[in-house]
């Protein structure tokens, strides 16, 4: 029976040049390729679990996970073809022709694959970073795959962005370095409002928001007056929130806007609305004082002008401070040598 099985396994299925393809070769190649595929899945899954449990070295673990997974698959395919009985050196011309065809037909896939490897090896983007694309797409990087990067936005919607798009276009990484970012929240008040009162009310409200970072020498919560509009004064709250808040920009801006509105209402500061001022130059053919006398109106005594109060200009103070120094490059933590055993007490 064993001899019959050997005869069955030696059945020739095909012949490519001088190479014979037998049933036993096909079975061996399939088993070997399958073993490498299983090893690739096990190694990738183990490294993924390890990466999820550790905080440091995630970038290196992710790179190792992808390179090891892809490498085992490629080695398995090559080993399977060799076990099949094919002389790979004799297929050079044939493989070159196939390579040209695949290069022309699958150049987009190859481009995305190489772009994915560049993203994995580059330290500008990490898993868990909050990024923004040119068209306004924002989200947390979940995975960098062979074709596309998976991003999850704050509405729990997953977006697949081609890897080459992250390399070729301008991308904002909101969480690359540091523990905070400066955010500008615009608001308006009516003409005639006390600027110092507006500033004090809005600053107090912003500092009560739980994710506002405390003031330091280089980072301060400020209120800037940015311009004059048709019916209102334009201001901006300049604030430094935590990175967790930066990852949710709409909710963050809504929280600060709500706090600003409450503060302005409590301080009895008028919130503006569109309005027009009408001035009558003439009445019944009279102008100026003659028109007032026709209406039996007279000018009252002009009130004395109050002395100008000293106000705090946060924007000017911000310009007087030196710019913050660039943060140093983050280096991978060096492995610590094992401590020597302490000498025993004499």
Q: Could you tell me if residue 85 is left (phi over 0), alpha (psi between -120 and 50 degrees) or otherwise beta?
A: left
Domain check: are 191 and 272 in the same one?
yes
Q: Are 211 and 302 in contact (CB under 8 A)?
A: no
Task: Name the domain count of the chain.
Answer: 3
Residue 91 in this model has a pLDDT that exceeds 50:
yes
Which residues lie below 8 Å from residue 222, measured CB to CB, with a gap of 6+?
203, 237, 238, 239, 314, 315, 317, 318
Using the 3D structure, point to which of 277, 295, 324 is the last residue of a domain.
277
Domain check: are 254 and 182 in the same one?
yes
Domain assignment present for residue 19? The answer is yes
Domain assignment present for residue 60? The answer is yes
Using the 3D structure, point to which of 226, 248, 277 is the last residue of a domain.
277
CATH number at residue 128: 2.30.30.60
What average pLDDT does this structure show over 192-220? 91
Domain check: are 187 and 129 in the same one?
no
pTM of the model: 0.62
Q: How far apart are CA 109 and CA 164, in angstroms?
A: 10
Domain assignment present for residue 248? The answer is yes
Burial 216-252 (b: 16+ CB within 10 A, else e): eeebbbbbbbeeeeeebbebbbbbbbeeebbbbbeeb
Residue pLDDT, tens place only, 97-144: 666 666 666 677 778 878 888 887 777 888 888 999 988 889 999 888
Domain check: are 183 and 272 in the same one?
yes
Residue pLDDT, tens place only, 321-335: 676 665 555 544 444
Domain check: are 161 and 76 in the same one?
no
Domain assignment present for residue 103? The answer is no
Q: Are 272 and 232 in contact (CB under 8 A)?
A: yes
Domain assignment present for residue 105? The answer is no
Domain check: are 154 and 228 in the same one?
no
Q: Which structure tokens are listed for 181? A: 């970012």
Q: Give residue 296's pLDDT.
A: 64
Domain check: are 162 and 195 in the same one?
no
With bands split at pLDDT 50, 70 and 90, how would you rate the model's confidence at 5?
very low
Residue 203 in this model has a pLDDT that exceeds 90:
yes
Write down how long the chain is: 346
Domain check: are 205 and 223 in the same one?
yes
Domain assignment present for residue 166? The answer is yes
Using the 3D structure, point to which of 225, 259, 277 is the last residue of a domain.
277
The whole domain housing 150 covers 120-173
- At residue 29, the 3 state secondary structure works out as helix
Domain assignment present for residue 29? The answer is yes
What average pLDDT does this structure show over 165-186? 88
Residue pLDDT, tens place only, 244-292: 888 888 999 999 999 999 999 999 998 887 767 666 666 666 666 766 6
Domain check: are 234 and 267 in the same one?
yes
Residue pLDDT, tens place only, 30-74: 888 888 888 888 888 887 777 767 655 565 666 677 778 878 888
CATH number at residue 198: 3.30.70.100
């Amino acid at each position: 029976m064993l001899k019959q099985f050997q005869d069955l396994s030696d059945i020739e299925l095909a012949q490519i040049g001088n190479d014979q393809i037998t049933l036993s070769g096909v079975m061996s190649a399939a088993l070997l390729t399958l073993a490498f595929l299983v090893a690739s899945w096990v190694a990738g899954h183990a490294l993924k679990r390890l990466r999820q449990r550790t905080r440091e070295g995630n970038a290196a673990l992710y790179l190792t996970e992808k390179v090891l997974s892809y490498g085992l698959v490629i080695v398995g395919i090559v080993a399977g073809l060799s076990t099949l009985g094919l002389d790979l050196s004799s297929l050079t011309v044939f493989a070159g022709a196939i390579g040209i065809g695949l290069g022309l037909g699958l150049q987009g896939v190859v481009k995305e694959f190489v772009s994915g490897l560049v993203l994995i090896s580059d330290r500008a983007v990490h898993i868990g970073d909050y990024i923004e694309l040119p068209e306004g797409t924002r989200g947390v990087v979940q995975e960098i795959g062979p074709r596309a990067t998976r991003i999850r936005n704050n509405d729990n919607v997953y977006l697949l962005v081609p890897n080459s798009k992250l390399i070729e276009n301008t991308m904002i990484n909101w969480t690359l370095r540091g523990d905070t970012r400066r955010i500008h929240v615009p608001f308006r008040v009516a003409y005639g409002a006390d600027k110092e009162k507006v500033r004090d009310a809005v600053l107090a409200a912003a500092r009560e928001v739980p994710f506002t970072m405390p003031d330091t020498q280089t980072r301060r919560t400020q209120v800037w007056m940015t311009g004059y509009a048709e019916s209102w004064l334009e201001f901006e709250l300049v604030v430094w929130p935590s990175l967790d808040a930066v990852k949710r920009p709409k909710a963050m801006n809504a929280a600060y806007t709500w706090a600003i509105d409450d503060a302005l209402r409590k301080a009895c500061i008028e919130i503006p609305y569109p309005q027009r001022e009408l001035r009558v130059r003439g009445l019944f053919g009279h102008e100026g004082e003659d028109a007032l006398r026709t209406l039996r109106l007279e000018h009252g005594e002009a009130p004395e002008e109050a002395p100008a109060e000293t106000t705090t200009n946060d924007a000017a103070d911000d310009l007087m401070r030196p710019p913050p120094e660039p943060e140093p490059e983050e280096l991978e933590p060096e492995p610590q040598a094992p401590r020597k055993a302490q000498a025993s007490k004499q």
